[in-house]
Amino acid sequence: MARRLGLALFILHFALFTPAVSARDWIHWRGPEENGVSRETGLPEGFDPKLGTKGNVVWQQPFGGRSAPLVLDGQLFLIQGTGEGLHEGEQVVCFDEKTGKEKWRYRVNVFHTDIVSSRLGWTTLTADPDSKNVYAHTTAGLLLCLSKDGKLLWQRSLTEEFGRISGYGGRIVTPIFDSGLCIVGMVNSSWGDQARAANRFVAFDGKTGEVVWWAENPYPIKGTYYSSPVIAVIGGQRVLVSGGADGYLSAYKVRTGERLWSYKFSAGVVNGSPLVSGNLVYCHHGEENPEGGPIGRLICVDASQVDPKTKTPKLVWEYRKANRFGLASGALADGRLYIPDDSGELFCFSAKAGKLLWKFRYGTEVRGAPLIADGKLYIFDVKGRLVVLTLAGDQEPANDWEYKFRDPRGLLNETNGTVIAVNNRLYFTTRTDLYCLGTPDAKDGCGAYTPFPEEAKFDPTAKPAGVRVFPADVEAKAGEKLAFKTISVDANGRELKPADGGKVAWSLPAPQPPKAKDPNPKAPASKGPPPLNGTIDETGTVALAPMPSQQGYVEGKVGDLTGRARVRVVAQTVYKQDFDKVPVGAAPGGWVNVQSKYAVKELPDGNKVLSKVNTDSRPPFARANGYITLPTATGYTIQADVYGTEVRDRLPDIGLVNCRYTLILDGKTNPDTKKREVRIVSWEARPRVNVAVDFDWSPNTWYTAKFTVEQKEKTALVRGKVWKKGDPEPAGWTVEFEDPSPNREGAAALYGYVSDPQITPENPGSDIYYDNVVLTPNGKNGPGGKTEK
């Protein structure tokens, strides 16, 4: 998404004051106040399954889900898993809010993830109330921007572009829209200063999809997570608050991503969504605690009292009684905090003092969060039970009503989602259906929602507190020209007139060298990677050198303030890499998700190859794709020489990736044939595609693998071949498959998996080597052939 000269420069504008969301929309899964409260009145007190005037089901559609719906401008939106077998995927569906009539659906495939089909559609959607655009973070890592009519406006592939990591349990993060930005959190590992796997947030311009800022926590991650962020105004500062993969509760400036504070309270990840009231911030987890003791914790911190040295807010109170507050989020209403534990017991606390007021057992397994509305509390357990409690202040509530949903086979129908209430109606999903409930005689009415506190008054003449370089992260072609600009901002990230008359000192700085591993202070300093190969002029225009792939930074200095942007020069589908010019221990420039997972090694014969790191058994390191091109690549062939060794009776899996399909030399032996195989897979956790043929490849032997995807009108023809290096290329394909639900594009990549639980730095696993990687466009002469002009 490089910005090219000759195109009109996009002038980024952030609203000085974000307009209030309409009370008749529901664009954050916890409601307009982002606290699980609806101000609607006249809502149904239960569930009568009859459609029409004899029941309270206004409409019902056979579209199930695991998350809360979104309502915007008279339309209801839902993300869900869809289809079966080769046609299984994920989709965003739009309905008329009043009638339930389906208006459109936008479907995508699932790929490059360990998440299984039963966990699809677990993020919720977000939206821009002004443009009416809807944003979705899919299981495969696509961040979609869809118009209200279902047209794709832009998309980013978080996995292929930025090395997003997902786990088996469906732990990916719901995006949030605010101040013109679509912001999403993730665990990722890409390149350069983001090579280390960390919990990061990235903000995209809501209209264009360009990167505005990155934010990072400096703490080690504990796994993947799904804490949904909230927006708040604390002490006049507009902030994003979220639990994290590092066990911390953290806050960031919405418009710049600057980290304001963090509070460590979990030895594992934090999945619960925070709640904010004034200066007080609440969050919870269901993991072990850093200090040991009982599992689980609920905290309240005062974000107006932050230690300036440690960036740690003051702890107001905490609750630690061996309760796992891990998987469902809470609600905050009328000075009371409602938190479900994982076993289906609801806890009510005094929000300011932390006093436990009551507990109520309503289920046995939970994921959905409580909704507080019209004097009642609505909540699901996983096993098909909807419970409605009539609240009684500090006293234990009355269990006035509950209903068990069953699927068409009469079995309990899973209910993992959360009820929402908007426009006098309740909306929710079961595993199989989407429901709208309403009371026939309800009067259209809604109480006033509490607006956010005001931000600090904007002073357009204030001295800038920071400088950003825009765009903040760019992907470009070799030899291209790029345009950058600096934006001066106040302490709240609001744009100011440029300081120093707008004079900018531009440079292409050298990256920081890696930290020295040698404790000897007299040891020679580590030499870092080179700066971006190119030139930059006084206008912020970068002219890149004609190198096929590289990476680096652009820096703009205004007075004593400095901003920086990331630039990745991406390989195209005419590309060769034999690793001879890459330093030993390094990874090719411009590739994503390779640093710390792949490194160039010199073999005893003097040949340089790319080696898969084999000293860490943790999943993100043991198995990884090293992405070479942009995710928009299509119509190409990838070829490479590959080699694997056997250690402790284990061979690795070695592969090539093309258009989100993977050709794998499988290291395991088929128990039926007693032979190893070559497979074509896509979404291996499911797997949607899994075609295998016997190919009893041997360790300590070089092979050449070739993998192509030919796009047809309604299908894709996926073909791979493998032969011993040096032998003539076979005329036929080793394995092939025609996909009726094709992946139309996708980054070229190398795949490696060293599976061995005994792996340690002292006990490495199998070696995987790659050499002579070649990308060629598919031409009229067939896969990898020359294009005729």
Give the pLDDT confidence of 201-216 residue by residue, as tens digits: 999 999 999 999 999 9
User: Mean pLDDT for the chain?
Assistant: 92
Structure confidence at residue 781 (pLDDT): 46
Quick one: which H or E segment has residue 115?
A: none
Reply yes or no on whether the pLDDT at 476 is more than 70: yes
> Between β-strands 505-507 and 102-108, what pairing exists: parallel, antiparallel or unpaired?
unpaired
Stretch 394-409: mean pLDDT:
86
Does position 786 have pLDDT exceeding 50, yes or no?
no
Q: What is the pLDDT of residue 619?
A: 85
Decide if pLDDT at 10 tops 90.
Answer: no
Question: Left, alpha or beta for 489 (phi > 0: left; psi -120 to 50: alpha)?
Answer: beta
Q: Which residues contact 1 (CB under 8 A, 6 or more apart)?
A: 209, 210, 471, 474, 475
Percent of the chain past pLDDT 70, that is, above it, reads 93
Measured from the Cβ of residue 526, the count of other Cβ atoms closer than 10 Å reads 12
pLDDT band at 53 (very low <50, low <70, confident <90, very high): low
Choose between 75 and 20: higher pLDDT. 75
Q: Is the pLDDT of residue 787 over 90?
A: no
In angstroms, the first-to-last Cα distance of the chain is: 28
By three-state DSSP, how is residue 222 classified? Answer: coil
Residue 737, CB half-sphere, CA atoms under 13 Å: how many? Answer: 23
Phi, psi (deg, nearest 5) at residue 399: -85, 85
Mean pLDDT of 605-613: 97
Please, what's the b/e burial string for 444-465 (b: 16 or more CB within 10 A of its CB; e: otherwise)?
Answer: eebeeeeeeeebeeeeeebebb
pLDDT band, residue 28 (cuts 50/70/90): very high
Q: CB 542: neighbour CB atoms within 10 A?
A: 25
Count other C-beta atoms under 10 Å from residue 347's C-beta: 21
Average the pLDDT over 375-388 and give the result: 94
Residue 115 has pLDDT above 60, yes or no: yes
**3-state class (DSSP) for residue 772:** strand
Q: Rounded to whole angstroms, how far apart are CA atoms 295 and 285?
A: 9
Output the pLDDT for position 11: 31
Q: What is the band of 261 on the pLDDT scale with cuts at 50, 70, 90?
A: very high
| Pairwise CA distance, residues 133 & 151, whole Å | 10
What pLDDT was estimated at residue 498?
82
Q: Where are the alpha helices (DSSP H) in 516-600?
A: none
The DSSP secondary structure of 679-703, one letter per residue, reads: EEEESTTTTSEEEEEE----TT--E
Question: Do 659 and 743 form a contact (C-beta atoms < 8 A)?
Answer: yes
Q: Checking DSSP bridges between strand 331-333 and strand 312-319, what pairing results, if any? A: unpaired
- List the Cα angle 193/194/196 in 5-degree steps: 105
Contact predicate 376/43, CB 8 Å: yes
Burial of residue 442 (CB within 10 Å: 0-12, 13-18, 19+) is: middle
Name the token pair of 655. 């592969």
pLDDT at 783: 65
pLDDT at 7 over 70: no
Q: How are strands ordered across the β-sheet holding 102-108?
A: 70-72, 75-82, 89-96, 102-108
Residue 412's CB is within 10 A of a number of other CB atoms, namely 15
